[in-house]
């Protein structure tokens, strides 16, 4: 009788987290890229075909991409939501199973997560509404009472923590959308600065890769199609950038799924729970999620104070630079 494969470690230092993210990606490269391509390419093609600007561009009408309609924007938003759900849920599952030494196929990933698609979609919408409400309230307060800018730290703290591990939570735990947002907030704030650092590093990597590959693609298209109008060239650039994003998109869900396990292992003893369950097939969904409530403690206020200070300094420096630029520009116009 074969023994079940051993479980991989679930706690990481920051550098180990990055290393494990790219190692997981490399070891499951064809599965991961194939999954993203299977979802992204059809949705990209459908979006382009449904866009009146595409047919206008192909018929050599200049300025085609400047014309959009509200129904089209709504449809594009719906397709984007579907794309996120169909990519993030299976990728989260693949990353999760990696920690249990279990390689899964694309079909297995979709079958294992399809019951979470609706909840994830509703959760994304609910999270978006939540963030929008917070931003609107903050904007009104800042306009009415300028010192309310001090709320910057609280707003950023809540938004970052609530979004941080939302996808692993809604995919891997048996809870609903609203509870998943609160749960993500509670987990995310436990390693808040790791979440921030990881997000910044991944954003920098994404920008560099997109700048190099996207820029190269744009140069190639514009240099090889000099006879085409700008709209047709932009159409080709848009499609190639979508292809490039297939290779970049998986990095974030993989990294934050690993971080989710790290947070739970450190703060809730998830690794011990799994080992003591006596069931090699046990997963986070087999255990009841701890009751979570939205609240701020002393540790939270310290982080908020740091964020507020960063926000105020950034605001002062930014406003100073903008004022100096405007003054310099005004002098050149005289």
Inside any domain, residue 5: no
More confident residue, 250 or 304: 250
**What pTM, to 2 d.p., does this model score?**
0.85
Per-residue confidence at 4, pLDDT binned at 50, 70, 90?
very low
Same domain, 49 and 151: yes
Q: Cα 233 to the chain's mean position, in Å?
A: 29
More confident residue, 152 or 286: 286
Same domain, 29 and 98: yes
Inside any domain, residue 9: no
Same domain, 190 and 152: yes
Q: Cα 80 to the chain's mean position, in Å?
A: 13
- pLDDT tens readout for residues 67-113: 555 566 677 788 899 999 999 999 999 999 999 999 999 999 999 99
Domain count within the chain: 2
More confident residue, 281 or 49: 281
Per-residue confidence at 1, pLDDT binned at 50, 70, 90?
very low
Same domain, 54 and 198: yes
Per-residue confidence at 150, pLDDT binned at 50, 70, 90?
low
Q: Are 270 and 159 in contact (CB under 8 A)?
A: no
Task: Output the average pLDDT for the chain.
Answer: 84
Same domain, 54 and 124: yes
Same domain, 312 and 289: no
Inside any domain, residue 22: yes
| Least confident stretch, 60-64, 117-121, 160-164, 329-333 | 60-64
Inside any domain, residue 139: yes
> Containing domain of residue 82, as a range?
14-271+284-295
Question: What's the mean pLDDT in 134-142?
Answer: 76
Same domain, 229 and 310: no
Same domain, 167 and 84: yes
Same domain, 311 and 263: no
Per-residue confidence at 2, pLDDT binned at 50, 70, 90?
very low
Q: Is the pLDDT of residue 271 over 60?
A: yes
Tokens representing 103?
A: 């390689």
Q: What angle do CA 145, 150, 156 make, to 5 degrees?
A: 120
Same domain, 226 and 321: no
Same domain, 188 and 264: yes
> Residue 88: what pLDDT?
97
Inside any domain, residue 156: yes
Inside any domain, residue 95: yes
Same domain, 289 and 315: no
Axis crossing angle, helix 70-98 with helix 14-27, rounded to the nearest 10? 100
Q: What angle do CA 39, 45, 50 make, to 5 degrees?
A: 125
């Amino acid at each position: 009788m074969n023994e079940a494969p051993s479980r991989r470690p679930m706690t990481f230092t920051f550098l180990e987290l990055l290393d494990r993210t790219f190692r997981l990606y490399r070891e499951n490269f064809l599965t991961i890229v194939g999954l993203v391509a299977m979802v992204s390419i059809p949705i990209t093609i459908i979006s382009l075909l449904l866009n009146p600007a595409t047919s206008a561009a192909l018929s050599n009408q200049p300025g085609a991409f400047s014309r959009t309609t509200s129904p089209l924007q709504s449809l594009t938003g719906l397709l984007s939501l579907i794309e996120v759900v169909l990519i993030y849920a299976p990728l989260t599952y693949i990353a999760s199973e990696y920690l249990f030494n279990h390689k899964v196929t694309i079909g297995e990933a979709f079958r294992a997560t399809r019951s979470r698609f609706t909840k994830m979609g509703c959760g994304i919408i609910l999270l978006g509404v939540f963030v929008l409400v917070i931003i609107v309230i903050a904007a009104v307060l800042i306009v009415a009472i300028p010192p309310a800018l001090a709320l910057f730290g609280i707003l950023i703290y809540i938004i970052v923590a609530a979004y941080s591990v939302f996808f692993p939570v809604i995919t891997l735990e048996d809870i609903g959308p609203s509870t998943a947002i609160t749960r993500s907030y509670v987990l995310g704030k436990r390693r808040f600065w790791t979440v921030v650092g990881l997000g910044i590093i991944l954003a920098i990597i994404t920008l560099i890769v997109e700048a190099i590959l996207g820029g190269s693609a744009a140069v190639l298209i514009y240099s090889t199609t000099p006879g085409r109008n700008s709209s047709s060239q932009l159409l080709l650039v848009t499609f190639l950038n979508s292809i490039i994003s297939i290779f970049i998109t998986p990095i974030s869900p993989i990294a934050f799924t690993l971080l989710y396990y790290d947070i739970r292992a450190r703060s809730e003893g998830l690794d011990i729970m799994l080992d003591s369950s006596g069931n090699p097939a046990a997963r986070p969904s087999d255990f009841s999620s701890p009751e979570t409530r939205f609240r701020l403690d002393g540790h939270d206020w310290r982080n908020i104070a740091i964020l507020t200070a960063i926000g105020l300094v950034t605001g002062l420096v930014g406003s100073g630079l903008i004022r100096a630029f405007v003054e310099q520009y005004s002098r050149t116009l005289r």
